[in-house]
Amino acid sequence: MANLPAVNAPAPSPFVLLRLRYMQLRRELPVYGIMLLALAVVVSIWMLWKAVLHDATNAPYIAGGALLVVWGMHQRRPDHHFLHRHVPQARVAMALEYGALVLPVLLGLLLAGLPAWAAALLVALVLPWSPVARASGVRASWLRKRIPAQLFEWKGMLQGTHPWTLLLWLGALAFCWLPLLPLLLLGAIALMATSAQEVCEPRAMLLATAPDARALLRSKVFGALRLMLLVELPMLIGATFFQLHWWWIHLLFGVGMLVLVAYAVVLKYANYRPNERLDANSANVGVAAVFAILPGLGVVPLIMLLSEVPKARENLNSYFHAHHR
């Protein structure tokens, strides 16, 4: 038998994760959507620059909040094992991904003339080499039993992130007298809640939750909104008490987080597949999150939410009634 020629496949580039995120954006968003996303990033850099120029004491809280968000994402990303097993330079690829996430904050601090705090953000590049806590045992049982059974995603989030979620919430409440840090911490909690919506339940659990697609979406969306409102309302009230002239920013930010969580729920069921994890949804939710945190641009994730509702109903009807309506 003749020897088969060896195939020298090129090794994956360290930019593999960045290319993957770009491909997800190209697949999920039209060209104008990507242009709007780029515009939102530029606006966020400008707003960050103006905030630091207005009060330079915000810089350490902004840098610390950004690092805390990235660290939280690193701790609970579900593909750790896969990356370390199949990507030769997994830690370098994750470092480049985290660097891209903190780049807008770094640019805003540099433009404001604060290179020291901008350099502090480079800590994000070494996070892939930090240990990751593995979940074990039952956590936060005293909180989980207060969550309705149909909102199992929130129970799972507490299991996977406790006590960090509670510490973030307590930190946001304790530092609500600061201008920006509580908003960053609340945004991190909202992103954790949206990430929990990537897990699809078995079809039997889906059918046992509600009699039809409309009832399921209604119970899931309004249940998630009630929980998110309970999470954010104390902090937003406290922040408005100390920064009364920012009441409109707090109002728009709170509404934006509610819309973001609702969008993550609807997007899950628009792409629902039993017993699977919808990792690709994170790209869409990330785009919606960028718009949700910017005052005045929260209408973009609202439009994204409304556009996914018919898709979610049609997809769920195929599982409830074994045909499309």
Which contacts (CB < 8 Å, 24+ apart) does range 158-163 have? 159/135, 160/76, 160/135, 160/196, 161/72, 161/75, 161/76, 161/192, 163/139
pLDDT at 324: 45
By C-alpha distance, which of 159, 135, 152 is closest to 201?
152
pLDDT at 283: 80
Q: What type of residue sits at position 323?
A: H
pLDDT at 188: 87
For residue 282 the two structure tokens come to 């994170």
Query: Cα 167 to chain center, whole Å?
Result: 18
Query: How many CA atoms lie less than 13 Å away from 206 in the CB half-sphere?
Result: 22
pLDDT at 293: 82
pLDDT at 325: 43
User: Using CB atoms within 10 A of its CB, is residue 195 exposed (0-12), middle (13-18) or buried (19+)?
Assistant: buried
For residue 23, give Cα distances in angstroms to 101, 194, 270, 284: 16, 21, 20, 12
Query: Cα 177 to chain center, whole Å?
Result: 24
Query: Has residue 216 got a pLDDT over 50?
Result: yes
pLDDT at 272: 93
pLDDT at 215: 92
Per-residue pLDDT, averaged over 243-255, amounts to 90
Query: Has residue 167 got a pLDDT over 80?
Result: yes
Beta strands in the chain (DSSP E): none
Assess contact for 129 and 73: CB atoms under 8 A: no
Assess contact for 265 and 193: CB atoms under 8 A: no
Per-residue pLDDT, averaged over 220-227, amounts to 94
Per-residue pLDDT, averaged over 200-219, amounts to 90
Q: What is the pTM of this model?
A: 0.70
By C-alpha distance, which of 160, 97, 90 is closest to 124?
97
More confident residue, 92 or 164: 92
pLDDT at 133: 67
Query: Has residue 32 got a pLDDT over 50?
Result: yes
The per-residue pLDDT of the chain, averaged, comes to 85
For residue 192 the two structure tokens come to 């954790």
User: Using CB atoms within 10 A of its CB, is residue 64 exposed (0-12), middle (13-18) or buried (19+)?
Assistant: middle
Query: Has residue 73 got a pLDDT over 50?
Result: yes
pLDDT at 12: 65
Query: Has residue 4 got a pLDDT over 70?
Result: no
Per-residue pLDDT, averaged over 115-143, amounts to 81
